[in-house]
Amino acid sequence: MYRKVTLVIVSVVIATLYNCTTNTIDEVEIEDLPPIVESVTYDDDVAPILNSTCVGCHSGPSANAGLQLDGYANARAGVEQGNVINRINNASNPMPPSGQMPPENRQIIEQWAADGFLEN
């Protein structure tokens, strides 16, 4: 009986530790990606990501946290002033709340800001 309990506890501890390891790896993934060489634009690259992942909760008069991310001007203002890059990369309090986007998508948004917010 005690052996079984010990076994269960040990398994839970191992599973938890394993989870921590994979989370840590996830945080450094953007740096591990090859740099983006083509220019990143709102129309081609950023809009598809924000529209499918964020706009459902972040648009219109009842946008969550008052943050609107629909359309070029709102998206740009959100990234410039709205803490967007911090929250998409925040593994413990991510946006979207359901979990971090793949590093490829987060890299596109960071590169868009670094390139000076090209529209098209």
Positions that interact with ligand HEC (CB under 6 A): 53-54, 56-58, 64-65, 67, 69, 82-84, 87-88, 95-97, 101
State the nearest-atom distance from the C-beta of 119 to ligand HEC, in Å.
Answer: 18
Beta carbon nearer to ligand HEC, 40 or 69: 69
- 41 or 53: CB nearest ligand HEC: 53
- Residue located via tokens 């793949």: 102
Closest CA to 86 of 46, 24, 27, 8: 27
Nearest-approach distance from CB 45 to ligand HEC, in angstroms: 14
Specify the residue, 17 or 99, whose C-beta has the smaller distance to ligand HEC. 99
C-beta closer to ligand HEC: residue 36 or 85: 85
Write out 45-103 in H/E/C secondary structure: HHHHHHHHHCCCCCCCCCCHHHCCCCHHHHHHHHHHHCCHHHHHCCCCCCCCCCCCCCH
Find the shortest distance in angstroms from Cβ 23 to ligand HEC.
Answer: 18
99: left (phi over 0), alpha (psi -120 to 50) or beta: left
CB of 31 to ligand HEC, least distance (A): 19
